[in-house]
C-alpha cells in the first residue's frame, strides 16, 4: 500500500471491473515541447464510469490496467489540460478537425492512460494557463464544458436560435450554459427525472418539461415542448441518444432546423429520419471538441459561465476517496459532477 | 370523349387508383405576374407513379380528382417551369429557403393540380426562357436535375469531394450528372440492379458496385466500395432511402464527411447513427430545390450536362398514350425517364 | 397651414435643402397583402439628415418633394415596420438576400416617400406586432438596431469574437448592443469625440479609446487598441468609413480576422489593403439588413438589449417640432437618436 | 568553383542584388519526422524574382546569403514538396489555417533557405508522393497551382460562379485552371498584354479583354467586361493588385458577389470601396494555401488540369543556367513558368 508521500507519482489504475487501485505511475521522459504537470483537480465523466463498470466504451476496450481521468487541471503554473494529443500530420489535423484524428491519444481512452495521477507529462500547447480568478476545479470543468461549446459552434448557436436540450445530465447542462453564452434567447430542457429538471431550472433553463420513457408519448410531448417554446424550435440537442429522445428531437424541430446528436446512448437507432430529411432537418454529430480551452477559460474568467454549481461532490486522492467517488458518480441523479482534489 | 382540338384545355386527371382520364381543365384567371403557358413536354416522376398507384405520397393524399405532372416545359416563348409557388412572405421564404415554405403550392402535389395539361397559368418569374439549343424535353428535365443540383449545393460538392451514390434511378443519375458538373473527381454508383448499373456506367460513373438487399452484407460491401473508391469516401448520397442503403452510407463515409439523404423510401429507419455522429458524419436532408432553374438551363446550354440519354420513353397526349406511359414508368428498370410531348 | 386634426393624413415633406413642411399625404389604395398603419414613432437617421442638408445620399438624389423617415413604428395593432419592399421575384430576393434587390422601394430613399406621416400603407408581412412590453419608440429603434444585427450575422459574431467598433454614433452603438447579444466577450470602442466615448462606456463598452483624425497616429493608436483588448482583435467594425478608420481597422485586426465596413463616410478610399489581404483579413460590406425585425423585437422583449438610452431627444409632429428635431439631429455629439411621437 | 559531382549538396545562393552563385549547402540533421529529398525540379516564381532584383518582398528582407526556390519536387520516392513548415501548435495552426501561422518557415522566404539545391530536408507529411503519370516538373507546378486552388476554395467557386480574372500571369492562369476544375462555367480574362491574353485564350479562357493601364478607362472597360460575360459577374479575381485592377474588380462585380485579391502589386491602394461595401461585395484576401497538394496532384493525375503548357522555359542546374533562367523569368511576357531540372 502506497501513500502519496511515499512515492513520487501515483495514479488511479483500473485493474478490473469495479476494481480501482492507487498505484505508482512511471512518467515518460519529457519531449522537447512537453511539460510536467502536477495534477490538482480531476472530474469524473460518464465514460470513466463506463470503463469502471464495463471495462469498455463503444469500441474502446480496456485490455490491460489503465489510469483513468481526462477532466483535469494542474500546476506548472496552474493550467487546464486539453486531454487529447493528435498526430498534427494527417489530413484532418491539418484541416483543423483534429478531434477526428485517427491517431488521437486521449487520456483514459484505451490504450492511453488517464490523468487521475499526481503527475502527468503533456505537450505545452495543450496546457492552458488559468487566470487568478479561475480555480483548478473550474479548470478541470473546461473538459465537459468543451463538449457543449464545440456543439454550439458546430450548429452555430446565436440569438436567432431557440432550442431544446434533451437530457439534463452533466453534458446537457454544460450545453445549456454554452448555448446561453452563445446568445440563445430561449432554452427548454427535457428530462425524465424531476431531480435533474429542477437542477436545470435552478441553473437557468427557461422552461423544463418532464417526459416519460415511453415511445407512444412522443407526439403529445412534442406538443408540450412547442407550447413551452412558444414558437418554432430552431435546434434540438439530444444529450441522451436513445430512440425516443432522437425521435422527439427530429419531430420537434422546425423545417430547416438542426438536430445535434451529442449523447451516445444507443448504437443502433430506429428513427423517423425520412420525414425529417424531407423538411431539411439535418443531423449533426459531435465528437468531443477542438480548440475550446481558450474560450472556456475566458467564459469562466469573465463570469459569463459559472460551472461551480455543477460540482456536487468532492473527494480526496486516497483509495477510500476513489472508491466512494466512483460509487457516487455511477448512481447519477443528485450527483452531477464528482471532482477529485489532489 | 374529348380530343385536343375540341376543347381549349385538356389535362390528365387522376380519378381513382390507376384511373387516369384526359378531361377539360379550366384555367384560373391570370394575376398581374402570371403568364399562360402552352405545355409541350412533361416527364413522369416517381411521385406521379405513387399517386397513380396509391392516391398518396407520404402525408399528401389525393382526395378529389387532380391533374398530374410537375416535370414540365412549355411555350410562351419556350420556357421551363419551376413547379412550386411559395408564399414569398413567411420567414423561410424571405430567408431564401422557400422550398420549405409551408404554404407551397406544388404542381401535382395534393391538393394542387399538376401541369399534365395543354395549358397552365404560372407566375412569370418561375418560367425560365429556354435558349435555342435547349429543347422543351430538356426543359422538363430541369425539374429532376434540380434535385441533384440542390443536393450538390447543400453538401458543397467540389473537386475535393469523392463520393458514392446509392441508387441509380433517375434521381441517383441526375445527382451523378450534377456532382460531375460541381467538379467531383470520383463517383462510385451502387445499386441492386445490373440494368441500372450498366446505364450508370454508360452515363459516366467511374465505378459501379452491385449490392444485395440483405443487411448482413453491408460490412463486406463497404469494403468493396472503399476499394473501388481507392481512398476515403467524403460524401454519400442515398438516393434510395432504405435501412440498408443508409446503413451503408453511414458506414462507408469517412470521419468528418457527410451523408445526404435524398431518397424517401421508408419512413421509420433503423440505423447505426450513433457511431456515425461520433465521427461527425452529418446527415443532410433534401427537399426538392430552390433557385436551380437558371443553373440547370446554363449547364444544359453549355453541354456541361446532357440529360437526353435519361429520356428512354416518349408518349403523346392521348388517353392511350397516358395509360401506356404510366404503365411503363411504374415498372422501372430499363425505363428511366418517361416523357410526354404535347 | 394644416393641423393634424384638419386632414386625415399629414407627412413631413422635404421641399428643398433644409426646408421641411408638414403637408397632406395621399395614401395609395390598399393591395391584397397591405395594411394601413397609423404611424406613432419615427426616429431620425443619418441619411434623413443627409437628405435634409444636401437633398442626396450617395447616388440617391431627391428630385421632387419627398416624405422623410424610415425608423418607424405604428398601430394596426402596434407594429414595427421594416421599411423596404423588395420585388420578391429577382434572383437575389429568392435567394434570401433581398436587401440587395435592385427594385427595392425603401421609405425615404428617393424616389420612395418615407414614413414620417400620420399614416402609411405597407405589406402586412413587413409589419411586426409589438409585444406588450415593447413600446412604439422601441419599435422604431428596430430599424437602426437591424443594421447592427445584420452586421453581426454577416461576420458571425459569437463568444469567440473579441472586437473593436470604430465610431460611437448611433450605428456604432447599436452594433455594440447587437454584438453583446451575439455573445462577444470583449468590445473596445474607438472615437474622436469624448462625449460619444463616455456615452459608449455608460452603455456597456469594455474599453474606450480616444483617437485623433490624423493619419500619422494610426500606428501608435493600433498599439493602444491592442493593449486595451489584451489580445488579438478578431474583428473590427468600421462604423465611420474614412481612410483613417479603415486603415486602423485593417491594421488592428489579426491574421484570419474580418473587417466589417458599415460606415459609408467616404466614397474613394486610400488603404493598405494588400498587406491585409496577405493576412487573409477579409473586408465584409453591409447594406441595411434582412429578416432582422423578429430577432430585434425578441431581444427587446426579453430585455437582452435596451435601446431606450439611445433616444436622447423627443419631438412632436408639428412644424416647429420637425424643424427643431432636424436641427438637433444634424449637430450630433450629445444627440444620439432623435425621435418623433405622432 | 564547384561542380555538382564534386560536393554532395549544392544550392543557388542569393548573395546580393542580381548575384546568384551555386555553392555548397549544408543539410541539417534529420528530425524524427523528416526525410531527405533529392530535388529534381524547381520553378521560378515572382517572389524569387523580387528577391533577385531587390533582396526583399514586402516586409521580408534578405539580410544574409539565402538559397532561393519554393516551387519544387524531388525524389525519395518522387514527391512534390509543400514549402512551408508551420508551428503546428498556435491557435491558427490548430484551427486549420496554418498558412497564417506567424512562425511559418517557408522555403526561400527570408530568413529561411529555399529548395533550389540538390538536396533538402523536409517533414515527411509535407512531401506528397507523385503518381506514375505525374512528372517532377508537374510536381513542382503544384506550388503555384495551389494558390489558385486555395483562392477558389476560399470564395467557393462552383458551377454557379461566372467570373473574371484580371492578370494573365502564372498566378492568373493557374487560378483559371483551378476555377475550371471547380466547375466555373464562364471565365473572362483581362490583361494589358496581348501576348499574355492570347496565351490565356489558348489555355481555355472563354473570353479575353484587352485593357489599358489608365484609370479613366475603367467605366468603359467594365461595360466591355459585362458584355463579354453576357450577364452579371459573380466573382472577380484580381491577380495583379493595382489601384486600377481592384477598381475594375469592385465595379464589375454584382451585388452580393466577391472580389478575391490575390495579386500583391501595390501596398497602399486607392479604391471605391464604400460603394462596393454598400452592395455587399466582399473583399477576400489570399495568402498562399493550405492542404492543397493532395487535390493538386489528383487534378494532375486525372488530367482534369494540365499545367505542362505553362512551363515555357527549362534550365539546368549550372551557374550559367541559373543566370539565364532568372534573366528570362524577370522579363515576363512570353515566359510564363521557368523551370529548373536538377
Ligand atoms: N459526443 C461526445 O463527444 C460526448 C462527450 C461526452 C459525453 N457524451 C455522451 O453524452 C451523453 C450524456 O452524458 P451525461 O454525462 O450527461 O450522462 P447522464 O447519464 O448523467 O445524463 C443523461 C440524462 O438523460 C436523462 N434521460 C435518460 N433517458 C431519457 C429520456 N428517455 N428522455 C429524456 N431524458 C432522459 C437522464 O435522466 C439524465 O439526466 C452520454 O451518452 C455520453 O456518453 C458524448
Ligand atoms: N428529396 C427529394 O426532394 C426527392 C425528390 C425526388 C425524388 N425523391 C426520392 O428519391 C428516391 C429515388 O427516386 P427515383 O426516381 O430515382 O427512384 P427509382 O425507384 O427509379 O430508383 C431507385 C433505385 O434504387 C435501387 N435500389 C433499390 N433498393 C436498393 C438497395 N437496397 N441498394 C441499392 N440500390 C437499391 C433501384 O434498383 C433503383 O435503381 C425516391 O425515394 C423518391 O421519392 C426525393
Ligand atoms: N451600411 C449601412 O447599411 C448603413 C446603415 C446606416 C448607416 N450607415 C452609415 O454608418 C455611418 C455611421 O452612422 P451614424 O448614424 O452612427 O453617424 P454619426 O455621424 O452619428 O457617428 C459617427 C461617429 O464616428 C465618429 N468619428 C468621426 N471621425 C472619426 C475618426 N476619424 N475616428 C474615429 N471616430 C470618428 C464621430 O465622432 C461619431 O461619433 C454613416 O456613414 C452612415 O451613413 C450605414
Ligand atoms: N496571395 C498570394 O499568396 C500570392 C501567391 C503568389 C503570387 N502572388 C502575387 O500575384 C501577382 C501575380 O503574380 P504573377 O506571377 O502572375 O505575376 P506576373 O507579373 O507574371 O503577371 C501579372 C500580369 O498582370 C498583367 N497586368 C499588369 N498590369 C495590369 C493592369 N493594369 N490591368 C490588367 N492586367 C495587368 C501583366 O500583363 C501580367 O500578365 C503578383 O503580385 C504576386 O506577388 C500572390
Ligand atoms: Zn491527425
Ligand atoms: Zn413561404
Ligand atoms: Zn428583388
Ligand atoms: Zn502556427
pLDDT tens column, C127-138: 999 999 999 999
Residue environment code for C186-205, b if the CB has 16+ CB neighbours within 10 A, otherwise e:
bbbbbbbbeebbebbeebeb
D291 contacts on A by Cβ (under 8 Å):
91, 94-95
Which of C248, C55, C73, C45 is CA-nearest to residue C147? C45
Ligand 3 pocket residue status of C74, Cβ below 6 Å = no
pLDDT at C224 over 60: yes
Distance A181 CA to ligand 5 centre (A): 30
Among A43-47, A125-129, D4-8, the minimum mean pLDDT is found in D4-8
> In A, which residues are within 8 Å of D95 by CB distance?
96, 291
**Are C33 and B96 inside 8 Å of each other by CB?**
no
Q: What is the pLDDT of residues D97-117, one digit of tens each?
A: 999 999 999 998 888 888 888
Asked whether the beta carbons of D325 and D338 are under 8 A apart, the reply is: yes
* pLDDT > 60? residue B4: no
Q: What's the residue count for chain B?
A: 342
User: Which residue of A lies nearest to B247 if distances are taken between CA atoms?
Assistant: A268
In this complex, the chains that touch D, judged by 3 or more CB pairs closer than 8 A, are A, B, C
Report the distance separating Cα C188 and Cα B217, nearest Å.
Answer: 60
Average pLDDT over residues A74-83: 86
Q: What is the per-residue pLDDT for D301?
A: 95
Mean pLDDT of C162-174: 97
Residue positions counted in chain C: 342
Residue A237 has pLDDT above 60, yes or no: yes
Write the secondary structure of A99-111 as one string of H (helix), E (strand) and C (coil).
Answer: HHCCCCEECCCCC
> Cell 437582452 identifies what position?
C304
The H-or-E segment that residue B57 falls in is strand B56-57
Determine whether the interchain pair A96/D97 forms a contact, defined as Cβ–Cβ distance below 8 Å.
Answer: yes
pLDDT at B1 over 60: no
Cell numbers at A252, concatenated: 420537434
Q: B120: closest CA among B105, B133, B141?
A: B105
Answer yes or no: is the C-beta of C108 below 6 A from any ligand 3 atom: no
Burial category of C267 from C-beta neighbours within 10 Å (exposed 0-12, middle 13-18, buried 19 and up):
middle
Residue A3: the pLDDT is 44
Task: Give the model's pLDDT for residue A198.
Answer: 97
Instruction: Report the chain B residue with the minimal C-alpha distance to residue A95.
Output: B256
For all residues of chain A together, what is the average pLDDT? 92
Which of C12-16, D57-61, D121-125, D219-223: highest mean pLDDT? D219-223
Determine the residue among D131, D163, D181, D183 to mutate to test chain B binding: the one whose Cβ has the most chain B Cβ atoms within 10 Å: D183
Report the percent of chain C where pLDDT is more than 90: 66
Of A161-170, A221-230, B118-127, the poorest mean pLDDT is in B118-127
Are D158 and B160 in contact (CB < 8 Å)? Answer: no
Tell me the best of C84, C98, C107, C167 to mutate to test the pocket of ligand 3, counting ligand atoms within 8 Å of each CB and taking the most: C167
- From chain A, pick out residues whose CB is under 8 angstroms from the CB of C153: 158, 160
The answer, for A302 touching chain C at a CB cutoff of 8 Å, is yes
Is the pLDDT at B27 greater than 90? The verdict is: no
Mean pLDDT of C252-258: 96
C-alpha D259 – ligand 7 centre gap (Å): 22
The distance of C298 to chain A (nearest Cα, Å) reads 8
Partners for C (CB, 8 Å, 3+ pairs)? A, B, D
Measure B137 CA to nearest chain A CA, in Å: 27
Percent of chain A at pLDDT > 70 equals 98
Q: Which residues in chain D are closer than 8 Å to C283, comparing Cβ atoms?
A: 273, 277, 282-283
CB C228 within 8 A of CB C243: no
pLDDT in tens, B271-324: 999 999 999 999 999 999 999 999 999 999 999 999 999 999 999 988 899 889
Closest Cα partner for A139 from A270, A278, A299, A8? A299
Residue C11 CB contacts under 8 Å (≥ 6 apart), including other chains: C22, C23, C24, C25, C67, C113, C114, C116, C117, C118
Confidence of residue A7 (pLDDT cuts 50, 70, 90): low
Name the residue with cell 486603415: C247
Tell me what percent of the residues of chain A surpass a pLDDT of 90: 66
Higher pLDDT, C65 or B209: B209
> Does residue C117 register a pLDDT over 90?
no
Q: Give the model's pLDDT for residue B310.
A: 96
pLDDT band at B78 (very low <50, low <70, confident <90, very high): confident
pLDDT category of residue A1 using cuts at 50, 70 and 90: very low
Share of chain D above pLDDT 70, in %: 98
Instruction: Output the pLDDT for position B7.
Output: 54
The pLDDT of residue A2 is 43
Which has more confidence, A340 or C32? Answer: A340
Cα distance from B261 to chain D (closest Cα, Å)? 22
Please state the length of chain A: 342
Residue B121 CB contacts under 8 Å (≥ 6 apart), including other chains: B27, B28, B30, B34, B35, B36, B37
Among the ranges given (B51-55, B122-126, D332-336), the one the predictor scored with the smallest mean pLDDT = D332-336
CB of C103 within 8 Å of any CB in chain B?
no
* Residue B332 confidence (pLDDT): 73
Residue A331 pLDDT > 70, yes or no? yes
- Judged by CB atoms closer than 8 Å, whether chains meet at B302 and D185 is answered as yes
pLDDT of C4 > 50? The answer is no
For the cut 80, the answer to whether the pLDDT of residue A255 exceeds it is yes
D96 to chain A: which residues are within 8 Å by CB? Answer: 94-97
D88 contacts chain A (CB < 8 A): yes
Say if the Cβ atoms of A94 and D98 lie within 8 Å.
yes
Between chain B and chain C, how many beta carbons pairs sit less than 8 Å apart?
Answer: 32
pLDDT in tens, B164-197: 999 999 999 999 999 999 999 999 999 999 999 9
Probe ligand 3: pick from C171, C190, C267, max atoms within 8 Å of CB? C171
SS3 C143: helix
Asked if B94 lies within 8 A of C33 by C-beta distance, the reply is no
pLDDT of residue A16: 92
> What's the mean pLDDT when you consider all of chain C?
92
User: Is residue C2 pLDDT above 60, yes or no?
Assistant: no
| Mean confidence (pLDDT) of chain D | 91
- In this complex, is the C-beta atom of C231 within 8 Å of any C-beta atom belonging to chain D? no
Sign for the CA dihedral angle at B61, B64, B65, B69 comes to: negative
Q: What are the respective helix, strand and coil percentages of chain C, to the nearest 5?
A: 35, 30, 35
Q: Looking at the predicted structure, is the pLDDT value of residue C159 above 90?
A: yes
Nearest residue (by CA) to ligand 1, atom 31, is A213
Nearest to D185 among B160, B185, B304 (CB): B304
Domains of chain A: residue spans and CATH: 10-129+307-341 (3.90.180.10), 146-285 (3.40.50.720)
Chain B residues with CB under 8 Å of D153 CB are: 158, 160
Q: How confident is the model at residue D4 (pLDDT cuts 50, 70, 90)?
A: very low
What is the rounded average pLDDT of the residues B101-121? 88
Within 8 A by CB and 6+ apart from C138, the residues are C73, C130, C300, C307, C308
What are the helix (H) ranges across chain D? 46-54, 91-94, 136-154, 170-181, 194-203, 218-229, 243-252, 273-277, 293-301, 319-331
Please check the confidence at residue A224 and state whether its pLDDT lies above 90.
yes
Q: In degrees rounded to 5, what are phi and psi of residue C132?
A: -55, -40
Q: What is the pLDDT of residues D157-187, one digit of tens each?
A: 999 999 999 999 999 999 999 999 999 999 9
Instruction: Return the pLDDT at A145.
Output: 97
Q: Which H/E stretch holds residue C16? A: strand C10-16
| pLDDT surpasses 60 at A73 | yes
Spatial CA neighbour of D36 closest among D145, D105, D153, D119:
D119
List of chain B residues whose C-beta atoms are within 8 Å of the C-beta of residue D304:
159, 185
DSSP classification of residue B5? T
What secondary structure does DSSP assign to B93-153, as a single string? HHTT-GGG-TT-EETTSTTS--S-BSEEEEEGGGEEEPPTTS-HHHHHHHHHHHHHHHHHH
Taking residues B62-77, report their average pLDDT.
Answer: 88
Q: Does C327 lie at the interface with B, CB-CB under 8 angstroms?
A: no
Q: Would you call C293 helix, strand, or coil by DSSP?
A: helix
What is residue C249's three-state secondary structure?
helix
Reported ipTM: the value is 0.88
Query: Quick check: D91 and A290 CB within 8 A?
Result: no
- Alpha helices by DSSP H, D6-135: 46-54, 91-94
Q: Residue A306 in 3-state DSSP?
A: coil
User: Cβ contacts of residue A321 below 8 Å, gap of 6+?
Assistant: A315, A340
Sign of CA dihedral B171, B172, B176, B177: negative
* pLDDT value at C6 more than 70: no
The model's confidence at residue A31, banded by pLDDT at 50, 70 and 90, is confident
Backbone angles phi, psi at A321, to 5 degrees: -60, -45
The mean pLDDT of B60-73, rounded to a whole number, is 88
Strand-strand pairing, D71-75 and D66-67:
unpaired
Amino acid at each position: 500500500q502506497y501513500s502519496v508521500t511515499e512515492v513520487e507519482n501515483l495514479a488511479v489504475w483500473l485493474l478490473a471491473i469495479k476494481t480501482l487501485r492507487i498505484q505508482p505511475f512511471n512518467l515518460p521522459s519529457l519531449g522537447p515541447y512537453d511539460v510536467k504537470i502536477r495534477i490538482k483537480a480531476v472530474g469524473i465523466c460518464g465514460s470513466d464510469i463506463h470503463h469502471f463498470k464495463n471495462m469498455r466504451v463503444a469500441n474502446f476496450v480496456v485490455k490491460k490496467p489503465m489510469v483513468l481521468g481526462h477532466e483535469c487541471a494542474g500546476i506548472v503554473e496552474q493550467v487546464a489540460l486539453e486531454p487529447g494529443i493528435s498526430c498534427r500530420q494527417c489530413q484532418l489535423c491539418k484541416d483543423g478537425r483534429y478531434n477526428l484524428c485517427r491517431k488521437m491519444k486521449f487520456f483514459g481512452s484505451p490504450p492511453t492512460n488517464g490523468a487521475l495521477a499526481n503527475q502527468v507529462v503533456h505537450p505545452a500547447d495543450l496546457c492552458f494557463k488559468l487566470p487568478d480568478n479561475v480555480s483548478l476545479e473550474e479548470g478541470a470543468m473546461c473538459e465537459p464544458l468543451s463538449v457543449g461549446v464545440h456543439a454550439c459552434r458546430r450548429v452555430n448557436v446565436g440569438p436567432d436560435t431557440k432550442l431544446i436540450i434533451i437530457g439534463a445530465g452533466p453534458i446537457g447542462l454544460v450545453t445549456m450554459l454554452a448555448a446561453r453564452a452563445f446568445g440563445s434567447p430561449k432554452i427548454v430542457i427535457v428530462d425524465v427525472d424531476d431531480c435533474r429538471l429542477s437542477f436545470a431550472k435552478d441553473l437557468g433553463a427557461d422552461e423544463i418539461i418532464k417526459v416519460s420513457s415511453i415511445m407512444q408519448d412522443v407526439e403529445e410531448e412534442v406538443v408540450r415542448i412547442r407550447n413551452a417554446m412558444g414558437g418554432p424550435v430552431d435546434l434540438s440537442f439530444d444529450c441522451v441518444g436513445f430512440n425516443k429522445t432522437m425521435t422527439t428531437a427530429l419531430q420537434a424541430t422546425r423545417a430547416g432546423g438542426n438536430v445535434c446528436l451529442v449523447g451516445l446512448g444507443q448504437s443502433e437507432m430506429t428513427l423517423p429520419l425520412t420525414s425529417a430529411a424531407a423538411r431539411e432537418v439535418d443531423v449533426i454529430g459531435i465528437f468531443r471538441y477542438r480548440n475550446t480551452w481558450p474560450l472556456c477559460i475566458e467564459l469562466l474568467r469573465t463570469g459569463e459561465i459559472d460551472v461551480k454549481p455543477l460540482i456536487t461532490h468532492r473527494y480526496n486522492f486516497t483509495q477510500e476517496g476513489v472508491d466512494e467517488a466512483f460509487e457516487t458518480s455511477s448512481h447519477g441523479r443528485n450527483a452531477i459532477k464528482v471532482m477529485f482534489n489532489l
